[in-house]
Amino acid sequence: MTTCHRHSRRETLLRCSRCDRAVCADCTREAPVGQHCPDCVRADNRRVRWARTVFGGRVNAAPYATYALMASNVAAYLIELIDPSVIDRFDNLGVALLGPDGGYYVDDGKPYLGYEPAGVLNGEWYRLLTSAFLHSLPGQNVFGVLHLVLNLYWMWQLGRTLEERLGVTRYLAVYLLAALGGSVLGVLVDPSQPAMGASGAGFGLAGAYFVLSRRLHERRYERNRLLIMCVLWMVLTAGFTSWEGHLGGLLTGAAAAGIIAVSGRGHPIRQAAALIGLGVVLISLVALKASG
């Protein structure tokens, strides 16, 4: 009598209906026809094709990336409440002078004893993205905590839909590129003006929603209304918000979504290369500004 190929001391008459190796009762796995051994079951699992979105991303049961982004913004806000100085250290400030007292001052191009250059154009590149997770503290400006609440609302409304269409990786790429694009335009236009918030990324999600909905020929009224709302908001709040961040995020998000839509679901490498190229262009613009 033969023995199980996994348990040499167990005699058996059973065989895997796929590889025909002997298996004991503990090793058999029920199959539509006969039974399979654990090795064949694992091989089948590796060959299972994940469901894909219309643009090539993997379909998930829930918008985990949106949850993670919202949680990250809330966590950053809690850190701000504990230590408000993190705002000055990580907001989107293009150029400034860091004084001996730890404060940030306008850089007029003259050297001052004890003052050090600071800001994105002075090598603090991380500010381009870290600023997208910071928000106004209560009483800090006209928005206060509402700044965070509004961004979380739009992240929830648009993020879930876009993540469902794009999948986690592509959705995160659009979000982060939009945040980067908003910060870049802010630095290029007014480098001495600090800015923060996920609004650039939020406007980027709106731009992506418009492009993808148009590509799919759906929700015409809804996408047009959203775009009009974004433009009106930028115009009406230009005097007390970072319109550069909003516009930069909107255009970058639309461009990133356009890359994904045009590349097609069957070309992930082409999509990735083009999105990376977009990020390189944005960083290059800041590098040119810094060198000039």
Could you list the active site residues? 199, 246
Distance CA 286, CA 278 (A): 13
Q: How far is residue 216's CA from residue 261's CA, in Å, rounded to a whole number?
A: 9
**CA–CA distance, 75 with 77 (Å, rounded to integer):** 5
The C-alpha atoms of residue 169 and residue 265 are separated, in whole angstroms, by 13
* End-to-end CA separation in angstroms for the chain: 83
Distance CA 186, CA 131 (A): 11
CB 21 within 8 A of CB 37: yes
Pairing of strands 96-98, 104-105: antiparallel
